[in-house]
Amino acid sequence: MSVITASAEVELRGVHKSFGHTAVLSGIDLTIKPQEVVCVIGPSGSGKSTMLRCINHLEQIDAGEIRIDGELIGYRAVGDRLQGLSESDIAAQRVAIGMVFQRFNLFAHKTALGNVMEAPVQVLGRDRAQVRAEAIELLERVGLSGRIDHYPHQLSGGQQQRVAIARALAMKPRVMLFDEPTSALDPELVGEVLEVMKELAASGMTMIVVTHEIAFAKEVADIVVFMDGGVIVEQGPPEAVLVHPQHERTRAFLRRVL
């Protein structure tokens, strides 16, 4: 899979997020360099998915800041204060951030091709013929050249998730977020999705992947982040975090999942 677009640097500084009285993120500091693949692991409820949703401004942070290539996400600086962006400005920022969810969220009434074409045509107003050609190429890249006219109900879970990846790539994002993209799949379908993600990582895309697939993280990640209780407990190369973890919380988690 060739490089699809330029990759971006992502920075989180002092990010806090609470739901009511429950703190979900408690001061997250993380830098993802261009073309890096960061895999985020940790127990359920540790704040992993919330962190991803904050990067995409699907959740509004309570404190701190998130930047992509130096640009504040969701806000603009006005003097020494931050002012929220309009919905249209936030939508424009999201174009640079592709996201793949646990559930595929495909349009049931559209074919695989229609799903991939929808946003570039409707959101970006691009030429339909050119978008169609690019969408066919993307579906070929994720191994679905023979399924472009199939509807979601005619596709396996793994095939639907690969359509979702192609759909995200159709917007030519600079960073891709994956929120446990294989957790809703039958075990025999996990490999085909991970293979597409490996090829995407090799193409130079900046990727942040929340995953329970420890073997995938060990093989593909440049950095592994272990989260628990809304904080980053440990981060570093896969060898350091997954093979020789320094913190007992990391060791206890890995004993459970391995």
Q: How confident is the model at residue 250 (pLDDT cuts 50, 70, 90)?
A: very high
Average pLDDT, the chain: 94
At 5 the pLDDT is 52
Tell me the DSSP string of 200-240. HHHTT-EEEEE-S-HHHHHHH-SEEEEEETTEEEEEE-HII
At 81 the pLDDT is 87
104 neighbors 160 (Cβ within 8 angstroms)? yes
Task: Compute the distance between CA of residue 119 and CA of residue 165 in angstroms, rounded to an integer.
Answer: 13
Across 202-215, average pLDDT: 95
Token pair of 206, please? 């900046």
At 242 the pLDDT is 97
The DSSP call for residue 79 is: T
**Residue 82 pLDDT more than 90?**
no
Across 69-78, average pLDDT: 92
SS3 letters across 179-190:
ECCCCCCCHHHH
**Residue 1 pLDDT more than 60?**
no
For the chain, the residue count is 258
At 152 the pLDDT is 97
pLDDT digits (tens, 9 = 90+) for 120-171: 999 899 999 999 999 999 999 999 999 999 999 999 999 999 999 999 999 9
**Strands (DSSP E) along the chain, which ranges?**
10-19, 22-32, 37-41, 63-68, 71-72, 75-78, 81-84, 97-100, 175-179, 206-210, 223-228, 231-236
Q: Tell me which residue of 248, 225, 251, 229 sits closest to 238, measured CA to CA.
A: 225
pTM of the model: 0.93
Tell me, what amino acid is at 68? I
Q: How confident is the model at residue 6 (pLDDT cuts 50, 70, 90)?
A: low
Task: Compute the distance between CA of residue 251 and CA of residue 124 in angstroms, rounded to an integer.
Answer: 46
Q: How confident is the model at residue 184 (pLDDT cuts 50, 70, 90)?
A: confident
Q: Express as a percent the part of the chain with pLDDT over 90.
A: 88
Token pair of 61, please? 């942070």
> What are the backbone angles phi and psi of residue 208, rounded to the nearest 5°?
-120, 120
**Residue 3 pLDDT more than 60?**
no
163 neighbors 153 (Cβ within 8 angstroms)? no
Least trusted range by pLDDT, from 39-48, 83-92, 153-162, 210-219? 83-92
Tell me, what amino acid is at 30? L
Across 4-13, average pLDDT: 81
